[in-house]
Amino acid sequence: MCGIAGIFDTRGRRPIDRALLARMTDSLAHRGPDGHGLHVEPGVGLGHRRLSIIDIAGGYQPLFNQNGTIGTIYNGEIYNFRELRKELEAAGYVFRTNCDTEVIVHGWAEWGEDCVRHFNGMFAFVLWDRDRQRLFLARDRLGIKPLYYALLDDGFLIFGSELKALLLHPGLARDVEPTAVEDYFTFGYVPDPKTILRGACKLAPAHVLSAERGRALLPPREYWALSFSSESGDERAIGEGLVAALRRSVRYRMIADVPLGAFLSGGVDSSAVVAMMSGLADAPVNTCSISFGHAKYNEAPYAAMVAERYRTNHQVEQVEPDHAGLIDTLVHAYDEPYADSSAIPTYSVCGLARKHVTVALSGDGGDENFAGYRRHRWSVYEQRVRRWLPQAVRGPMFGFLGATYPKLDWAPRYLRAKTTFQALARNQLEGYLDSASIFPAHLRRRLFSAGFERDLGGYRS
């Protein structure tokens, strides 16, 4: 990954504080230890920290086109850059590097804001078009790469890969956003476009933000949305199509000029990624796993089975209970409240991987894409009951049972019905949200003071 940061004057061409820009950029040095670059002109400052993956010698940023009118800072990878490069070269554009970054500046010149529709990848980039006096911010379709921004009271727009870069600017207020706190206690994190601060935002996935000098900042615009349309067909053909799509996806992500590996937990998702990599690589794949002393939570034996099956170069490191000391490190990394305990083993496996590779593929998202959690299955069962019983009957009956049935966490699973009763008293959305919440609604109401409830103004996650 790389780190980007910058300052833009939406009102004019006031001088940019180069030292401040450098501090904002250097706060992201952990994202880009291999190089740094700054570009400053009246009203615009762009900063970049680089992790070298493609075209190690020639891919430094900020990167401008030949005549210096279009420049970009960029975090991520555009997987189809080779195909796009051929298309743009055929249109007359001349490339000076072999990196994917240059596709962005020429893509903007050719397609304008629609360039993002041509990019297949994970990216967050900021582009400066001097001729149009326009700053353009973009984030990939699923929000893999982060991008934060804030419009300050004095008309300066600041942005960065992490909130810590924005926090270095003295013009950013530190007021906490109450609805973000409600969201945090519900989901365990602050969903986009909010941040924990009232004055700062995350650019949402599949959104772009365009700022023109001398004009009011327009709201972000969505350029893509995931389709949830149902498809039917032969199950075997659908399965074969899935494997082909996964193989194609993994092949794209193996484009790198640096050592490559994978996180391997032994679950279906990461094992599938490693299987695809092994079929595509000429040499054994580098894999990394974390083990735990407690057998109930230790998946290392499953990872070892997969590693043996595909003859990977496998590395294992045991996480000890004293790894709770990582919490301070993680607070600094995330910048805002985050309550997923998996962050500790994830950080640990990243540290292990970095000893051997620069890029690592993972199976994150598999459970969400394929309804792999128990709550997904139970939501389907509960919805069947809702179809049989109207809300007028279901609400009072299961509401009473949910309130009176004891919470039997120690009992066999089939006797732990309190949460199910509570869910059946609600509609499907409310029931699912309650099962997925860190703190259900009734507990959040008990946690929050009367003054904080007034600040929420009736808002509910």
Catalytic residue set: 2
Buried b / exposed e over 172-202, threshold 16 CB at 10 Å, is beeeebbbbbbbbbbbbbbebbbbbbbbbbb
The number of residues making up the chain comes to: 461
Q: Quick one: which of 370, 365, 353, 368 has its CA closest to 263? A: 353
ω into 193 cis (within 30 of 0): yes
Determine how β-strand 134-139 pairs with β-strand 121-129.
antiparallel
CB atoms within 10 A of CB 123: 23
**Distances from the Cα of 326 to the Cαs of 146, 152, 320, in angstroms?**
22, 33, 11
Exposed / middle / buried, residue 298 (Cβ in 10 Å: 0-12, 13-18, 19+): middle
* Cβ atoms of residues 319 and 291 within 8 Å: yes
Q: How far apart are CA 207 and CA 143, in angstroms?
A: 9
What lies within 8 Å, CB to CB, of 131 at 6+ separation is 69, 70
Long-range contacts of 403-411 (CB under 8 A, 24+ apart): none
